[in-house]
Amino acid sequence: MSGPDHSELHLLYVEHSGWLKGWLRARLGNASDAADLAQDTFLRMLSARDVQAIREPRTYLSAIARALMIDKFRRQAVEQAYLDVLALRPEPMDISPETRLLILETLTAVDAMLDGLGERTRRIFLAVQLEGLSYVATGERLGVSVTTVKKHMIRAMTHCLLLMED
C-alpha cells in the first residue's frame, strides 16, 4: 500500500470507526460483536476498494457491515440447527472442537451455496442430491419436464464448481 492510500485509510478509520461501531451496536445489541464486525468491515473495505474512490463512506461501510451481519446471523442459524440435531440424538456425541468447527464451516458453505441458487434450481438440486430422486421423479413431483430438471441440475453443478474455484 502506498503512503497516500495509507493516510486516506487512516483518516477514514478515524472519522468513521466510532460511528460504525455505534451503528453496529444498535443492531447487534452487543459492543464486543459490534467492535469485531467493525474491524472486519474495515478489513473487507481495504481489500475491496481504493479508499480514495469512496464518495459516501458511511453508506459504503454500512453496506459492507450489513453483509457481514447477514453472514454472522446465517452462521449462527446453521450452528443452532446443528446443535438442535445433536440434541435429538439418543446418545451424546463426543466431537472435538476442531471437528465441530470443520462441520460448522462445511454446513455454512453448503448453506451459502444453496442460497446462491434460484428457488426452482435449489428444489430440484435438493430433490436429486439429498433425497436421491431420479430426474423423472423430480420432474413429476415439481411438475416440470426431465429436460428442465437436467437444465437446473447443470446450473446447480456449475454454481458449485465455480464456488469451489474461488
pLDDT in the model for residue 3: 42
Domain 97-164: CATH architecture, name and number where available: Orthogonal Bundle (1.10)
Amino acid letter for position 33: D
Amino acid letter for position 164: M
pLDDT in tens, 50-104: 766 778 889 989 999 998 998 888 888 888 888 788 777 777 667 788 988 888 8
pLDDT in tens, 136-157: 999 999 999 999 999 999 999 8
pLDDT in the model for residue 5: 62
Q: How far apart, in whole angstroms, are the C-alpha atoms of residue 64 and residue 61?
A: 5
- Residue 45 contacts by C-beta under 8 Å, 6 or more apart in sequence? 51, 54, 60, 61, 64
Quick check: pTM over 0.85? no
The average pLDDT across 14-26 equals 93
Q: List helix spans (H) across 1-145.
A: 3-28, 31-48, 57-88, 97-115, 119-129, 135-142
pLDDT in tens, 105-116: 888 888 888 888
Residue ranges per domain, the chain? 6-88, 97-164
The average pLDDT across 44-52 equals 73
The average pLDDT across 128-132 equals 89
pLDDT in the model for residue 79: 84
Residue 4 binned pLDDT confidence (cut-offs 50, 70, 90):
very low
pLDDT in the model for residue 70: 86
